[in-house]
Amino acid sequence: MVEWTEQERDIINSIFSSLDYEDIGPKALSRCLIVYPWTQRYFGGFGNLYNANAIKSNPMIAAHGIRVLHGLDRAVKNMDNIKATYAELSVLHSEKLHVDPDNFKLLADCLTIVIAAKLGSAFTPEVQATFQKFVAVVVSALGSQYH
């Protein structure tokens, strides 16, 4: 089981309590689709993804980015039980959506970069270490039901 110090818990809670989901969610997902264009294949029904500007202004991508970011709320609320918390979502991404689990890491990296840009100097090495630990646990949990 993953252990969290009080300081790590405070850092994660403070990042998420001040997070603007409607800004960060769309930016993280659209960055992932632009930087790693093969991830677009899962969003064939999401309309125009023709170029970076189309992706950034696509309302379906924006809405989904917000939804995915809210998907992380469950991990924030269940930090001691992240693997079980994502069991169902892992099955969905594996068996129904057929998302290659390598992509979870790519999206997590884009989210880290967007949050770093937003927090600026407040994104200290300690904050980065904690945030990356948090997303690594989520990524592992989302991949846990693949076989």
Phi and psi at 32, nearest 5°, equal -60, -45
Using the structure block, give the residue that is written with the tokens 């997070």: 19
The reply on whether position 90 binds ligand HNI by CB under 6 A is no
The reply on whether position 55 binds ligand HNI by CB under 6 A is no
Q: Is the dihedral of CA 40, 45, 50, 55 positive or negative?
A: negative
Helix axes 102-119, 125-142, angle to 10 degrees: 150
CB of 75 to ligand HNI, least distance (A): 8
Name which position in 4, 104, 131, 134 contacts ligand HNI (CB under 6 A): 104
The reply on whether position 71 binds ligand HNI by CB under 6 A is yes
The stretch among 5-13, 18-26, 49-57, 102-110 that binds ligand HNI (CB under 6 A) is: 102-110
Contacts of 53 (CB under 8 A, 6+ apart): none
The reply on whether position 61 binds ligand HNI by CB under 6 A is no
The reply on whether position 137 binds ligand HNI by CB under 6 A is no
The reply on whether position 134 binds ligand HNI by CB under 6 A is no
Q: Is the dihedral of CA 86, 107, 30, 121 positive or negative?
A: positive
Exposed e or buried b for every residue in 104-119, given b needs 16+ CB within 10 A? bebbbbbbbbbbeebb
CB of 33 to ligand HNI, least distance (A): 8
Return residues touching ligand HNI (CB under 6 A): 39, 42-43, 64, 67-68, 71-72, 89, 92-93, 97, 99, 103-104, 107-108, 138, 142
